[in-house]
Amino acid sequence: MGIASSAQYSVSKLTNDPLMKTTTSMVAGRQGSELSAAVGTAIFTALTLGLVQSAMFLFLTGPILSFMGVGKDADMRAPALSYLKWRAVGVPAATVLLVSNGIFRGRGDTTTPLYCTSLGNLCNIALDPLLIFGLGMGVDGAGAALAASQWLAAVPLLYQLKKRYPFKIEKGFWKNADRAAKGYMRAGGLILLRTIAKIIAYSLTASAAASLGSVPMAAYSLTFNLGFATSQLCESVSIASQALLARDAGE
pLDDT at 147: 93
pLDDT at 173 over 70: no
Beta strands in the chain (DSSP E): none
> Quick check: pTM over 0.85?
no
Higher pLDDT, 67 or 181: 67
pLDDT at 106: 76
pLDDT at 250 over 60: no
Chain centroid offset of residue 17 CA:
7
Residues 6 or more apart whose CB falls under 8 angstroms from that of 197 comprise none
Predicted confidence band at 18 (pLDDT cuts at 50, 70, 90)? Answer: low
Report phi then psi at 28, rounded to 5.
-70, 130
- Please give the Cα distance from 145 to 132 (Å, whole number): 9
DSSP string, 64-121: HHHHTT--TT-TTHHHHHHHHHHHHHHHHHHHHHHHHHHHHHHTT--HHHHHHHHHHH
pLDDT at 145: 94
pLDDT in tens, 113-145: 889 999 999 999 999 999 999 999 988 999 999
Of 99-103, 139-143, 147-151, 186-190, the range with the highest mean pLDDT is 147-151
For the chain, the average pLDDT equals: 79
Q: Shortest CA distance to 34 belongs to which of 138, 183, 134?
A: 183
- Please give the Cα distance from 235 to 140 (Å, whole number): 30
pLDDT in tens, 23-43: 766 676 677 777 777 788 788
- Integer CA distances (angstroms), 216 to 79, 105, 111, 155, 219, in order: 17, 38, 39, 38, 5
In this prediction, residues 178-188 reach a mean pLDDT of 58
